[in-house]
Amino acid sequence: MNKVEFYICEVCKNIQVVTDGNCLECCLSKPKLLETKDLKEEIIQIEKVENTKIITANYIQDEEDYITFMCFVSKEEMVIDYFFPYEETKLIIPNTKGTLYIYINEKGLFKKKIESNI
């Protein structure tokens, strides 16, 4: 994957993950491109287990403010998981370098570079 973009419909809050630059219309309008911010180190914990990494987000959530998804993008692949309020936020990824994206519905999209030798 060379490039990934995330869009949100401002009407229904649907998230689109786009890898080819083409975003689909939603609710009769074009979704808004999500801008990324740097992720604070203390929010995530990375544990190496054999040939994988388990990423856990330590974020206090409630029904209004929670992690909607976590996505890892490397040169070869993309791993994404969606979450509900109060759900444990873990993502299992390959032990390779790439970029981690975390979307918190009340705060926006965050990203962090992940190195392969953690």
Domains and CATH numbers, the chain: 1-34 (2.20.28), 36-114 (2.60.40.730)
Smallest Cα–Cα separation from 86: which of 116, 44, 112, 57?
A: 57
Taking the model in full, what pTM does it have? 0.90
Q: Mind listing the pLDDT tens digit for each residue in 3-22?
A: 899 999 999 989 999 988 88
Enter the DSSP assignment of 43. G
**Which residues have C-beta within 8 Å of that of residue 6, sequence separation ≥ 6?**
15, 16, 17, 18, 33, 34, 71, 101, 103, 109
Q: Mind listing the pLDDT tens digit for each residue in 54-94?
A: 999 988 888 889 999 999 999 989 999 999 988 899 999 99
